[in-house]
Amino acid sequence: MATIGVLALQGAVREHIRSIEACGAQAVEIKRTEQLDTIDGLILPGGESTTMRRLIDSYGFFDAIREFGEKGKPIFGTCAGLILMANEIENQDQAHLGLMDMKVARNAFGRQVASFEAELNIANVAEDFNAVFIRAPYIVETGSDVHVLAKYNERIVAAQQGHYICTAFHPELTDDNRFIAYFVAMVEQSIQTLAS
Ligand code: GLN
């Protein structure tokens, strides 16, 4: 069985734990870097990316998460987690983890419509996915290795680059576990690949 960690420094942790378990995988809250050795995949949850980055630095997670990814282990970033994974952030000098070749815009749907839901067609996942957006970012540009999985109003809101995947919306906030199940399948696949 795949064991999936959720970075538990800040943000929507418990909802991801519930979704992972609903998909039949084991879920662990990750609070110390040593715990990364015990998991097969990692979720960077939604929350507030600047705060999360500060906590990542103070708990020594910056290099640890990058090394985890360099081993080929899957990482999934939702919302603030997507911002953390990008290698470029609009109107900001510095990016964070820089795991994915993409430029993102924060709070991109405007402060007036801070939160909304939309039905999305997500490649490989579902044609009718009810996506919950909360002060969401979107992906402005992607590099050639990045595969766009979903768009909303012509804006990219889900993408994958090899074993890295991200969504601007929160798939953990509804009972529709198909997106999390897709990530769990990626993790199970990587366990096979990394063992052979
Ligand atoms: N707007 C937040 C940020 O910039 C992300 C919001 C979310 O994760 N729901 O970090």
Parse the chain into domains and list their residue ranges: 3-195
Which tens digit of pLDDT belongs to each residue from 93-146? 999 999 999 999 998 887 656 899 999 999 999 999 999 999 999 999 999 999
Q: Is 79 in the pocket of ligand 1 (CB under 6 A)?
A: yes
CA distance 101 to 39: 24
CA distance 168 to 158: 6
Which tens digit of pLDDT belongs to each residue from 147-168? 999 999 999 999 999 999 999 9
Q: Is 106 in the pocket of ligand 1 (CB under 6 A)?
A: yes
| DSSP code for 112 | T
> What is the ipTM metric for this complex?
0.91
pLDDT of residue 108: 81
Catalytic residue among 16, 79, 163, 166: 79
3-195 CATH choice from 3.40.50.1220, 3.90.76.10, 3.40.50.880, 3.40.50.300 = 3.40.50.880
What share of the chain has pLDDT > 90, as a percent?
A: 94
Active site residue 166: no
| Distance of CA 44 from the midpoint of ligand 1 (Å) | 12
Tokens 């992906």 label which residue? 139
Tokens 């995947």 label which residue? 165
**Strands 164-167, 100-105: parallel, antiparallel or unpaired by DSSP?**
unpaired
105: nearest Cα among 138, 142, 151, 141 = 138
Q: Is 47 in the pocket of ligand 1 (CB under 6 A)?
A: yes
Asked whether residue 16 carries a pLDDT value surpassing 80, the answer given is yes
